[in-house]
Amino acid sequence: MIALTMKHAMKRNTKSGFTIVELLIVIVVIAILATLTVVAYNGIQNRGRTSAGAANANMIAKKAELFNSINATYPSYCQFTTNTMVPTGTTPVSGTGPGTCVAGGAAVSTEVKLDNVNMLTPSAMTGPISANGTVTQYKRCTTNGAQLTYWDASGSAGVMKSVGDTTTCP
């Protein structure tokens, strides 16, 4: 009877633990799940950035349309960034903000005023400047129209939105 119990106890101790193959399978499954999670998270972030860019472009387009309805012309970049009617200076070659635009003339109506001038850039769309979705390119084509471009992070490209007559835009 004692011999049978000892034999039974020895059998139980030799089968404990996981094999290397079992551990590798678990590690591979965890790696696959982690990869899927990171890819899904990046997709959600890109959709959020694109949505932010579209919302900014729509808001700027509405302000440009309102400016046009009040003043019978679309605002220039300097008019937008200084919030005045007759600014002096030039638009920056690249980057955001007013550049050397200096306020001049009467202030624009509060409905048209941009609260954050760093949401506009006159330069060509580039990933590093606009990839976060907060910067919109603004270009007045003529006094009758303007083009806005925001960054689509999902497609890694600029999305153009036109207001007014943009037939004279290159």
170 lies in some domain: no
Residue 47 corresponds to which tokens in the numbers above? 């959709």
By residue range, what is the domain housing residue 49?
2-164
Facing residues of 158 across strands?
Answer: 151
Q: Whole-model pTM?
A: 0.70
169 lies in some domain: no
71 vs 147: CA distance, rounded Å: 18
82 vs 78: CA distance, rounded Å: 6
| Total structural domains within the chain | 1
153 lies in some domain: yes
2 CA to centre of own chain: 75
Facing residues of 161 across strands?
Answer: 148
Facing residues of 140 across strands?
Answer: 146
* Per-residue tens of pLDDT for the chain, all 170 residues: 555 555 555 555 556 788 999 999 999 999 999 999 998 998 888 888 888 888 888 988 998 898 888 888 888 888 888 888 888 877 666 556 666 788 888 888 877 877 777 777 775 544 445 556 677 888 888 778 888 888 887 777 788 888 888 887 76
111 lies in some domain: yes
